[in-house]
Structure 1
Amino acid sequence: MKILLTLILVLIACLVVFYLIPKSSHSHKFTNEEVIYKTDLSDMWNIMKAFATSNRQAAAPEKHQIIPVQPLSKARLNQGTDDMLYRLGHSSLLMRLDGDFFLLDPVFSERASPVQWAGPKRFHSSPISVAELPNIKAAIISHDHYDHLDEAAIKALIDKVETFVTPLKVGKYLRQWGVPSERIIELNWWQETALGSVTLTATPSQHFSGRGLLDRDQTLWASWVIAGSRNRIFFSGDSGYFDGFKQIGERFGPFDLTLIETGAYNELWRDIHMLPQESVQAHIDLQGKAMLPIHNGTFDLALHDWFDPLEQVSKLAKNHSITLLTPQFGEPVNVAAPAPTSPWWRQVMLDKQVGGEDVSNKLQQAEIKQSRVSH
């Protein structure tokens, strides 16, 4: 309780400081196309109150509940020639496209936080270390939040990555961390760059940016269209649901695979993080053939149980006859011909009761919750 009260007081103090800063002291700010996301003191109070009164029973896996991770190695990654994708954690992915490797939002640190002694901690290890990675054609960043832009990872990747591709102004962080300017490409929405046979296009998302109290929306956020000679992939980054998905689908679809944010959601901030039913609708709008839900399973960033995103989206996908891929971390996914995946989180939950409650009842509650929001 003391820790919670201290946290609330710190947050209130920070908000007071933020709102006392004169507007003229803020530099150029980026904005969304549809919703201008703002949080006033009332909004922040409601969010803090929701966190303080949350009665979750499974915010994270229990210590004995081990999330399955399939180890990766450079030798294994270099086998074959098909376009392949591997989920490393949260929204971090490794893919091989047209023979080259690409990293999406690489986060390898133990915590998604400005400091490594506090903040959201990993549920599982990464399937591969930075040292074991093959040479990377490009690292693609969606925005500057700590669960997507990891300073320690960027520094470790400097000698591994040929080019870093970011939305506008995000490159400033990379330059501060030692990445040479000539190896950074910054794009506005709808701009593209070709790296060999792969074209990367920055497309809109509905979110916000900032790594501190006084830098709100001073860097751009984006989703990405990643088009190779054989396959086309969409990477959502973070986003609330908006009409932009349909526009992207009409301009660049169909997609062989969509990587769609499905996690860290709540009605209080649905403008910037989709609810599961909205994630499924985004996939439909994008004209995706197969959907892989991301932004879940690694960090506790919201108020739902850790397995809730995967459980809800699985049932929604079945109801909409969508090919859903839920690979274990490190499990290979063939982009053109993905093999069926398993609901691995259910086995993790079956390892023991959840908070003294039988896991079957817990999963049944998740199913009831999903049924209510889908009607």
Structure 2
Amino acid sequence: MPLPLFRRAALGEHPDSPQWAAGRFHNTTPRPANAPKPGGKVMWDFFFNKPDFTVPSAPIPVHALTRAELDAAPDRSLYRLGHSTLLTKLRGGWWITDPVFAERASPIPFFGPKRFHAPPIALDELPRLRGVILSHDHYDHLDYAAIKALADRADIFLSPLGVGDRLIDWGVPRDKVHQFDWWEGIEINGLRLTATPAQHFSGRSLSDGNRTLWASWVIDDGGMRIFFSGDSGYFDGFARIGEVFGPFDVTLMETGAYNVNWPYVHMQPEETVQAHIDLRGGWLLPIHNGTFDLAMHAWYEPFERVLQIAAEHSVEVATPRMGERIDLLAPHTGERWWRAVRTQAAPAAKTPAYARCPTSD
């Protein structure tokens, strides 16, 4: 079987979508002509010349979850399993976002960003899932092996347009797959889930760039609303989502894998906080960090920067350990656990200016 990078995707056409044109999906806001793009040197440095501080030098603390603990969990419990994978209990059912349990976020099993920590619970120990919520098809968000394992153990799969085509191609029963354009959604047992805009891109091979859509998600539990950002650059869509669906009790916001060379598709921490404010968010829980080495900044930098900026705007931030329970009705700040990891680390090389960040150690 060919490596996933060279696998031919069975993807459909979506001419009825306002985001579809000339055989590809497009963002609402075009990339500015003067926006920097990763060039050859940037990509070479990314793969072969990263500083040591992009990976922790000591183990990350993980709360090992048990099936018994999950079975006893009350409704509206949330557990961060790593990166953008979150397990949430709503209306008696379990939902998981962007389930990635693979050792590497890569199409090549032996090359690419490797996990900093094991998942808090093994894939085969998860409870029966009411649903899987997918934001887009990049390897750090869509894990082929995890989808195959969950095909018979999840009731439904919710995805942006085109991503569902991949799931069906991988063997997920067609009647379980629901695909949505932006502003479309579904109601399940009183829970309303809506795909909302994001500013990003997609693709898993050399030839299928932007053939699938990317999205954020609004999860409305009646008396509580959650926003899941997926991946996105900062754009005016956050304010629009806030107008239509806000305020939000908790926002699960991308804060990590940013770089000055790709500002259009990932947010700097300042933009993450501003997007949270645009959404009219209550508590902010930073995600897309702490699991994979996907940029040139220090692995702990997203936490420190977002905390400092959030404090300046009186935004409350939750930073649970991987596997630690968060009560969505009454979140808590959690430990600033990465600081203990830093103190255990071996002396690091001098931090270059582009990666420096203020801290409050």
TM-score between both structures, scaled by the size of structure 1: 0.85
Q: Contact between 1:58 and 1:354, CA under 8 Å: does it hold in 2?
A: no
Q: Contact between 2:56 and 2:345, CA under 8 Å: does it hold in 1?
A: no
Secondary structure at the residue paired with 1:165?
A: strand
Deviations 1:23-62 (A, max 9, x none): xxx9610100112489999742352365389663411011
1:279 aligns with 2:272: yes
Secondary structure at the residue paired with 1:311?
A: helix
Deviations 1:161-185 (A, max 9, x none): 0000000011111112110110000
Look up the match of 2:308: 315
Which of 149, 161, 167 is the equivalent residue of 2:160?
167
AA paired with 2:357? Answer: A
Deviations 1:73-113 (A, max 9, x none): 22111224330110000111100112111000000010011
For residues 314 and 42 of structure 1, the distance between their equivalents in structure 2, rounded to whole angstroms, comes to 28
Q: Contact between 2:105 and 2:113, CA under 8 Å: does it hold in 1?
A: yes
1:295 aligns with 2:288: yes
For residues 144 and 287 of structure 1, the distance between their equivalents in structure 2, rounded to whole angstroms, comes to 28
Look up the match of 1:132: 125
Look up the match of 1:10: none
For residues 180 and 292 of structure 1, the distance between their equivalents in structure 2, rounded to whole angstroms, comes to 33
Q: Contact between 2:162 and 2:211, CA under 8 Å: does it hold in 1?
A: yes
1:227 aligns with 2:225: no
For residues 87 and 113 of structure 1, the distance between their equivalents in structure 2, rounded to whole angstroms, comes to 21
Q: Contact between 2:36 and 2:262, CA under 8 Å: does it hold in 1?
A: no
1:155 aligns with 2:163: no
1:333 aligns with 2:326: yes
Look up the match of 2:28: 33
1:115–1:253 distance in 2 versus 1, CA, 3 Å: same
Q: Calculate the aligned-residue CA RMSD, in Å.
A: 2.5
Runs of 4+ residues deviating >6 angstroms:
37-42
For residues 48 and 171 of structure 2, the distance between their equivalents in structure 1, rounded to whole angstroms, comes to 43
Look up the match of 2:85: 92
For residues 273 and 42 of structure 2, the distance between their equivalents in structure 1, rounded to whole angstroms, comes to 25
Secondary structure at the residue paired with 1:225?
A: strand
217-226 or 335-344, larger mean C-alpha shift:
335-344
1:37–1:301 distance in 2 versus 1, CA, 3 Å: farther
Look up the match of 2:255: 262
Secondary structure at the residue paired with 1:58?
A: helix
Q: Contact between 2:36 and 2:261, CA under 8 Å: does it hold in 1?
A: no
Secondary structure at the residue paired with 2:40?
A: helix
Residue 340 of structure 1: how far off its partner (Å): 2.6
1:44 aligns with 2:39: yes
Identify which of structures 1 and 2 has the higher relative contact order when contacts are C-alpha pairs closer than 8 Å and 6+ apart.
Answer: 2
Look up the match of 2:55: 60
For residues 80 and 326 of structure 1, the distance between their equivalents in structure 2, rounded to whole angstroms, comes to 19
For residues 83 and 278 of structure 1, the distance between their equivalents in structure 2, rounded to whole angstroms, comes to 27
1:213–1:79 distance in 2 versus 1, CA, 3 Å: same
1:239–1:233 distance in 2 versus 1, CA, 3 Å: same
AA paired with 2:81? Answer: L
For residues 184 and 27 of structure 1, the distance between their equivalents in structure 2, rounded to whole angstroms, comes to 25
Deviations 1:311-359 (A, max 9, x none): 11111111111110110000000001012311100000011343267x9
For residues 46 and 343 of structure 1, the distance between their equivalents in structure 2, rounded to whole angstroms, comes to 34
1:139–1:55 distance in 2 versus 1, CA, 3 Å: closer
AA paired with 1:202? Answer: A
1:145–1:78 distance in 2 versus 1, CA, 3 Å: same
Look up the match of 2:341: 348
For residues 236 and 257 of structure 1, the distance between their equivalents in structure 2, rounded to whole angstroms, comes to 11
1:187–1:304 distance in 2 versus 1, CA, 3 Å: same
Residue 195 of structure 1: how far off its partner (Å): 1.5
1:175–1:355 distance in 2 versus 1, CA, 3 Å: same
1:215–1:40 distance in 2 versus 1, CA, 3 Å: farther
Look up the match of 1:185: 178
Identity in percent: 49
1:205 aligns with 2:198: yes
TM-score between both structures, scaled by the size of structure 2: 0.88
For residues 42 and 271 of structure 1, the distance between their equivalents in structure 2, rounded to whole angstroms, comes to 9
1:58–1:99 distance in 2 versus 1, CA, 3 Å: same
For residues 208 and 170 of structure 1, the distance between their equivalents in structure 2, rounded to whole angstroms, comes to 12
Aligned residues: 339
More helix per residue? 1
